[in-house]
């Protein structure tokens, strides 16, 4: 099942696609907040059975057993809660293996981390430097299984030229089957697409901007739209929300459109390796 269906626009042409999630939701089981009566507090401020206002010190923890209406809350003492949570996080990681960086599926990362020496441990900087230099020089990732937050995952630690980094990765059971499609290599399509990116000055077609990706250059458009709506609501004026563009139902031929837009483009022939010279036959003496 597709996570999202819509269109990717290219020169005003809708390329209709489906996005398929690769990772399932993998939140840990967690705990429920309960009041002194053993029930979830109303709005986290009032005891459910009496409506009495309670403070944070009176809120306890419980585990939910079962699903839906059949779920039952089992209150935990402070000692029981600590016994569970105290064992959740890994304290010492041990290597399962060292893997070449190109074999790590970074695109599946659940979380990303920047790793630094612990400032509260004397000499940690010297040991961390050995790890960073070792991983940087070897091109390997330190792979282990560990629990960093509320659930266990595979952890890969690796070094860039300037930092020590890590990612948490899902287990196979936490992933969806990967959909496949038989893509066919076509150099003429690649050349025409590249021409579409460059544009055509003679026809007044501006080029797309090509630049290194920089995350800090972008801000959430959703967050801005949300703020605009909140301001309109608080001001008491009429609410105006711009309609989101809808993808076109029909999908004409992208290659034909690009050819009309930028003209015919010849694909550069692939360079052929020169034929190996045959060794001269040996002449018997």
| Residue 148 covered by a domain | yes
| Count of structural domains, the chain | 2
Query: Which residue, of 121, 149, 174, is where some domain finishes?
Result: 174
Domain extent at residue 123: 97-174
- C-alpha to C-alpha distance for 205 and 197, rounded to whole angstroms: 10
**Taking CA 226 as the corner, what is the angle to CA 1 and CA 235, rounded to the nearest 5 degrees?**
150
| Residue 74 covered by a domain | yes
| Residue 38 covered by a domain | yes
Under the banding of pLDDT at 50, 70 and 90, the label for residue 86 is low
Is residue 221 within 8 A of residue 242, CB to CB? The reply is no
Under the banding of pLDDT at 50, 70 and 90, the label for residue 222 is confident
pLDDT in tens, 175-194: 888 889 999 999 999 999 99
Query: Which residue, of 174, 208, 234, is where some domain finishes?
Result: 174
> What's the predicted TM-score (pTM) here?
0.61
Q: Residue 219: what pLDDT? A: 84
Tell me which H or E stretch contains 15.
strand 13-19
- C-alpha to C-alpha distance for 202 and 256, rounded to whole angstroms: 19
| Residue 197 covered by a domain | no
- % the chain with pLDDT above 70: 80
Q: Bridge-partner residues for 4, per DSSP?
A: 19
> Residue 101 corresponds to which tokens in the numbers above?
């960086």
| Residue 4 covered by a domain | no
The residue behind tokens 């282990």 is: 144
CB atoms within 10 A of CB 28: 11
pLDDT in tens, 111-165: 899 999 999 888 899 999 999 999 999 999 999 998 887 678 899 999 999 999 9
Query: Which residue, of 139, 174, 209, is where some domain finishes?
Result: 174
- C-alpha to C-alpha distance for 117 and 123, rounded to whole angstroms: 9
Q: Which of 3-12, 156-165, 203-212 has the lowest mean pLDDT?
A: 3-12
| pLDDT higher than 60, residue 285 | no
Query: Does 78 lie in the same domain as 113?
Result: no
Q: Residue 158: what pLDDT? A: 93
Query: Does 101 lie in the same domain as 165?
Result: yes
Query: Does 104 lie in the same domain as 76?
Result: no
- C-alpha to C-alpha distance for 188 and 269, rounded to whole angstroms: 10
Query: Does 166 lie in the same domain as 121?
Result: yes
| pLDDT higher than 50, residue 238 | yes
Query: Does 80 lie in the same domain as 101?
Result: no
Query: Does 79 lie in the same domain as 101?
Result: no
| Residue 2 covered by a domain | no
């Amino acid at each position: 099942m597709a996570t999202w269906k819509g269109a990717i626009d290219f020169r005003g042409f809708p390329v209709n696609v489906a996005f398929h999630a690769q990772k399932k939701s993998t939140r840990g089981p967690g705990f429920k907040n309960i009041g002194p009566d053993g029930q979830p507090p109303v709005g986290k401020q009032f005891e459910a059975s009496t409506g009495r206002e309670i403070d944070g010190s009176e809120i306890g923890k419980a585990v939910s057993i079962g699903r839906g209406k059949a779920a039952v809350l089992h209150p935990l003492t402070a000692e029981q809660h600590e016994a569970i949570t105290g064992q959740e996080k890994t304290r010492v990681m041990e290597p399962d293996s060292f893997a070449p960086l190109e074999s790590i599926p970074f695109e599946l990362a659940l979380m990303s981390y920047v790793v630094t020496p612990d400032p509260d441990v004397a000499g940690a900087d010297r040991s961390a430097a050995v790890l960073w230099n070792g991983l940087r020089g070897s091109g390997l990732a330190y792979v282990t299984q560990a629990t960093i937050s509320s659930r266990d995952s595979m952890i890969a630690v690796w070094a860039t030229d300037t930092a020590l980094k890590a990612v948490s990765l899902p287990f196979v059971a936490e992933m969806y089957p990967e959909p496949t499609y038989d893509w066919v290599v076509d150099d003429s399509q690649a050349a025409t697409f590249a021409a579409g990116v460059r544009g055509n000055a003679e026809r007044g077609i501006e080029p797309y901007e090509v630049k290194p990706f920089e995350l800090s250059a972008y801000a959430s458009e959703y967050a801005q739209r949300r703020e605009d709506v909140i301001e309109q609501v608080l001001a008491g004026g009429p609410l105006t929300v711009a309609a989101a563009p809808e993808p076109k139902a029909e999908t004409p031929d992208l290659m034909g459109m690009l050819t009309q837009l930028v003209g015919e483009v010849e694909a550069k022939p692939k360079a052929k390796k020169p034929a190996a010279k045959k060794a001269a036959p040996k002449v018997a003496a």
